[in-house]
């Protein structure tokens, strides 16, 4: 047995709806400890801190000034992601935040530059790709179970979030749309499976100029659409494989797969990248049938915040963390360049990133992360 686990002390900025899932992961992960919470709504911050021993802090500056905060969990609205991250970096704190990393390329680059200069780590969701679903699929690709990968498809097709969301307007304003909303899950998975993207060709449309709220007290109200709601693209990965991407808020129903990978010796059915687990299936050309694959990689029982726990372990062992700012910046550039291509026409290049390391099954138990440490977080 190793020495007792030394936990990374976490300051939470933004205690909205998604924070509940992160708090659950923090509570069951010995390598993470919540020490401070702040939110624009003090009552919401108090609810998040209740029963954890964490302090409720009046503002972001106060949280960043605390000596018992090693890393900031940034769950603010997307428009504030870069601002909060840069402030945390300036205070010498590590940062892990929700996607996207920033609103644009320049802000993302500023975060990366500041983190390197300060010698701190920055991580970014989605971390669903670290679960057993995507990682088992990646292991199958890396082990050659479908031969050499030549292509992939990735489809996210829904009728639009106004069907269920009582206040859906922000999904249809600049910075929203199906690609920027859900693309990070699918694109992060494709990078894990096939490596970084080298160039993209895109097309996009907004078939409807207005949408109607379908639920809640404002049901029946109409609002304008300001973004493309159906985006398609061809991605050429650095390794040569081609991925076909469709992200849409304009499809009432379909039977399309989430993600499939096609190789010279078979095909792979990959589970929903918005989830941490799910069944992976392989079609072997010589057997001519689909078969389920056993879980072979990834963090079992993972939840939102596993990427932060992975970052904490990476600090201990001096290894790169997997849900990295570099990957998030690459995914953001892929999405923005795809939209540029849709407007300008033609194929456009994309700056690459390192392919994250795979996740082996933990050697101990079924917890989300191994905890046999012999060093404290740096």
Q: Are strands 94-97 and 32-38 parallel, antiparallel or unpaired?
A: unpaired
CA distance 38 to 100: 20
**Which position has the token pair 């923005």?**
336
**Within its chain, how far is the Cα of 91 from the centroid?**
25
- Cross-strand pairs, 94: 71
- Does 99 qualify as catalytic in the annotation? yes
Cα–Cα distance for residue pair 188/152, rounded to 1 Å: 13
Spatial CB neighbours of 342, under 8 Å, sequence gap ≥ 6: 202, 203, 204, 228, 231, 233
What is the rounded distance in angstroms from the CA atom of residue 304 to the CA atom of residue 28?
12
Inter-helix orientation angle 177-194/132-142, to 10°: 40
DSSP string covering 74-112, please?
E-S-GGGHHHHHHHHHHTT-EEEEPSPS-SSHHHHHHHH
Which residue among 33, 81, 94, 99 is the active-site one?
A: 99
Name the CA radius of gyration of the chain, rounded. 21
How far is it, in rounded angstroms, from Cα 334 to Cα 231? 13
Euclidean distance between CA atoms 122 and 69, whole angstroms: 15
Q: What is the DSSP string of 17-84?
A: TTHHHHHHHHHH-TTEEEEEEE-SSHHHHHHHHTTTTPEE-SSHHHHHT-TT-SEEEE-S-GGGHHHH
DSSP 291: E
Instruction: Write out the catalytic residue numbers.
Output: 99
């Amino acid at each position: 047995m190793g020495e007792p686990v030394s936990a990374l002390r976490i300051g939470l900025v933004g205690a909205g709806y998604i924070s509940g899932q992160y708090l659950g992961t923090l509570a069951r992960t010995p390598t993470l400890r919540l020490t401070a919470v702040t939110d624009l709504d003090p009552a919401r911050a108090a609810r998040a801190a209740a029963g954890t021993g964490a302090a409720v802090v009046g503002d972001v500056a106060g949280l960043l000034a605390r000596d018992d905060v090693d890393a900031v969990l940034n769950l603010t609205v997307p428009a504030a992601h870069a601002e909060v991250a840069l402030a945390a970096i300036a205070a010498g704190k590590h940062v892990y935040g929700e996607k996207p990393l920033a609103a644009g390329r320049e802000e993302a680059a500023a975060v990366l530059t500041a983190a390197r200069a300060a010698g701190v780590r920055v991580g970014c969701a989605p971390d669903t790709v670290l679960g057993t679903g995507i990682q088992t699929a990646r292991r199958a690709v890396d082990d050659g179970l479908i031969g050499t990968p030549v292509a992939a498809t990735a489809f996210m097709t829904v009728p639009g979030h106004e069907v269920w969301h009582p206040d859906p307007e922000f999904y249809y304003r600049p910075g929203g749309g199906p690609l920027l909303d859900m693309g990070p899950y699918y694109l992060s998975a494709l990078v894990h499976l096939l490596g970084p993207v080298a160039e993209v060709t895109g097309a996009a449309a907004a078939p409807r100029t207005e949408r109607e709220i379908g639920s809640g007290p404002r049901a029946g109200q109409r609002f304008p659409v300001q973004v493309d709601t159906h985006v398609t693209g061809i991605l050429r990965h650095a390794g040569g494989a081609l991925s076909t991407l469709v992200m849409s808020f304009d499809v009432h129903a379909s039977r399309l797969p989430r993600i499939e990978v096609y190789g010279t010796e078979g095909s792979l059915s990959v589970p929903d990248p918005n989830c941490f687990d799910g069944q992976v299936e392989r079609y072997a050309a010589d057997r001519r049938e689909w078969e389920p694959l056993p879980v072979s990689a990834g963090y079992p029982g993972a939840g939102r915040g596993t990427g932060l726990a992975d970052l904490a372990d990476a600090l201990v062992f001096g290894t790169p963390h997997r849900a990295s700012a570099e990957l998030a910046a690459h995914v953001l550039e892929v999405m923005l360049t795809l939209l540029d291509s849709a407007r300008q026409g033609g194929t456009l290049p994309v700056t690459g990133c390192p392919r994250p390391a795979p996740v082996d099954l933990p050697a101990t138990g079924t917890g989300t992360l191994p905890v046999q440490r012999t060093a404290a977080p740096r």
